[in-house]
Amino acid sequence: MTEPIQISFIINDPNAIAAIRGKIAIVVGADGAMNVLTRKINTLTKGAVKRLLESKVWEKVKEGEGHVLAFPANLATSAVQVVKLGRSVSVLEARKAGASMAVFRGDEPLTALLASHARAAEIAHGLALRSYDFNVHKTDSDMILHMVSAMVADPDAVLADHAPMAAVTEGVFFTRDLTNEPANVLTTTEFAKRLTDLRDQGVEVDVLEEDALERLGMRTLLCVGQGSRSPSKVVIMRWNGGGDEPPFALVGKGVVFDTGGISIKPAGGMEDMTMDMGGAGVVAGVMRTLAKRQAKANVVAVVGIVENMPDGNATRPGDVIKSMKGDTVEVINTDAEGRLVLADILWYTQEKYNPVAMVDLATLTGAVIIGLGHENAGVFSNNDRLCKQFLKSATAEGEGAWRMPLGDAYDKLLKSRVADMKNIGGRPAGSITAAQFLQRFVRDDTPWIHLDIAGVASPGPTALAPKGATGWGVCALDRLIRDHFET
């Protein structure tokens, strides 16, 4: 796994500033207010910071962004970044400032002079998240983890505040690594192995192989992978930190590569289908986070891992498949495969674990990108209370999410002539009919959310992520669990 940068929190020491090598970042309020460390920088540079603050350049700098003073006089550092950040800023503004410092840092050591800033831990969190770099397959990659330090008034207090955020960073990085991996590396077998490695973190992990899935009747899941040489699997992860309480459930689509099957996709952009397991990747990242921070919650996670390939044995358009629930599905389009995977594991999760609530995640439809772009995930739910809780968590974490409708009129579009339902409802309202399909495999008494993350799983770069996988959803779901499902 890509290791997050290690940030050391050290005591304020104005006398040590002149000798700091690498790069330095300082924070200044929009009103020009300087802390004790920033004033020391200004004195050493003979007023260079003050001159910047009085210039037209500073007026154009936005909150959370910075301006660089290169090779400042009387300092050993190669550059000083002056970041505009007041003392009463929001959590998200503080993280944005930290992300700006990460971009400024590049591949050099960095010292952030934060003094007594109230959001020091959040600044460090943003810095860590934006420092991600997936370079494992580059032969000339620099694997050195350069030192990052934050000079603060109370290092122990800031470290304590930052510890649970560091656990979230690990979860996000785990998700990004899984989602960024090419399909020849992250095969179904390798994906399952990486999830079983979570046992080292205290997570209970079981893997169901194809023979077990056959016995359980998971035919809609199995039909997706029957054209691939890679075996289909279901991986179950359990974090038991909440006593005897019924578990909260996470369910994820893990299609390691999606050609579309017999309904094959166009060649242009197909390479991005390595990320079609992004929902399962988020689920895995949340489980790693819960384990790292020793969450006082019971959470079960179920992911279906398959590969959708064209082959002489592949499922054909027009085939009728019987689900684990017992309903039959006419497969109109084999490229609408994610819902077939989720149908069986949603039903299995409820039958086996009777969860208090359930959230599924999937890069499910291109239609949700047409509707919401890359700014928001589509949110579908049968429970207003749970949905409001999630949307509040997503907003607090700066992860865009927008509730979409469900209804009988959309459900009628799935009517089949030869089976209980079709797996697609046509072009109109494509993301909604996909959610309506999934709802048929959710009990009426199970509070449920479906998150269509096709637009947000990998649109990078974003404020907190470089180009590629974003890890969207780890932060919001961890907060949802922390705020509403911990004992």
Residue-wise pLDDT for 293-325, tens only, equals 999 999 999 999 999 999 999 999 999 999 999
| CATH superfamily membership of 170-484 | Zn peptidases (3.40.630.10)
Question: How crowded is residue 412: how many other Cβ atoms within 10 Å of its Cβ?
Answer: 11
Q: Measure Cα distances from 101 to 26, 61, 76, 107, 182 in Å.
A: 9, 14, 18, 12, 30
DSSP 115: E
**What percentage of the chain has pLDDT greater than the value 70?**
99
- pLDDT band at residue 142, thresholds of 50, 70 and 90? low
Q: Would you state the pLDDT for residue 147?
A: 87
Which residues, 6 or more positions from 62, have their beta carbon under 8 angstroms from its beta carbon? Answer: 84
What pTM, to 2 d.p., does this model score? 0.97
Q: Tell me: pLDDT of 141 over 70.
A: no
For the segment 475-481, the average pLDDT, to the nearest whole number, is 98
Q: Would you state the pLDDT for residue 251?
A: 99
- pLDDT band at residue 6, thresholds of 50, 70 and 90? very high
Identify the CATH number of the domain defined by range 7-153.
Answer: 3.40.220.10
Catalytic residue chosen out of the listed positions 194, 265, 296, 392 = 265
Q: Helix or strand or coil: residue 442?
A: coil
Q: Tell me: pLDDT of 36 over 60.
A: yes
> DSSP letters along 237-302, please?
EEEE-STTPPPEEEEEEEEEEE--TTSPPPSTTGGGGGGTTHHHHHHHHHHHHHHHTT-SSEEEEE
Q: Would you state the pLDDT for residue 146?
A: 66
User: Per the structure block, which two tokens stand in for 1?
Assistant: 């796994």
CB 250 within 8 Å of CB 262: no
Rounded Cα–Cα distance for residues 382 and 295 (Å) = 27
User: Per the structure block, which two tokens stand in for 75?
Assistant: 């300092």
For the segment 203-223, the average pLDDT, to the nearest whole number, is 98
- pLDDT band at residue 140, thresholds of 50, 70 and 90? confident
Q: Helix or strand or coil: residue 430?
A: helix
Radius of gyration of the chain (CA): 24
Q: What is the largest CA-CA distance in the chain?
A: 82
Cα three-residue angle 384-387-391, rounded to 5 degrees: 135
Q: Tell me: pLDDT of 139 over 90.
A: no
Q: Is 265 a catalytic residue?
A: yes
CB 142 within 8 Å of CB 107: yes
Q: Where are the domains of the chain?
A: 7-153, 170-484
Rounded Cα–Cα distance for residues 48 and 53 (Å) = 9
Q: Which H helix or E strand runs over 83?
A: strand 79-84
For the segment 20-45, the average pLDDT, to the nearest whole number, is 96
Phi and psi torsions of 269, nearest 5°: 85, 0
For the segment 165-170, the average pLDDT, to the nearest whole number, is 98
DSSP 420: S
Average pLDDT over all residues of the chain: 97
Rounded Cα–Cα distance for residues 9 and 14 (Å) = 15
Q: Would you state the pLDDT for residue 459?
A: 83
Categorise residue 85: left if φ over 0, alpha if ψ from -120 to 50, beta otherwise.
beta
Phi and psi torsions of 184, nearest 5°: -75, -15
Question: How crowded is residue 366: how many other Cβ atoms within 10 Å of its Cβ?
Answer: 13
For the segment 110-121, the average pLDDT, to the nearest whole number, is 98
For the segment 256-263, the average pLDDT, to the nearest whole number, is 98
Catalytic residue chosen out of the listed positions 339, 440, 479, 482 = 339
For the segment 255-281, the average pLDDT, to the nearest whole number, is 97
- Nearest CA among 348, 363, 367, 346 for reference residue 448: 346
Q: Is 322 a catalytic residue?
A: no
Q: Tell me the per-residue pLDDT of 416-461, one tens digit each, with 9 for 90 and over.
A: 999 999 999 999 999 999 999 999 999 999 999 999 999 999 987 9
Q: Measure Cα distances from 89 to 28, 70, 93, 121 in Å.
A: 12, 27, 6, 13
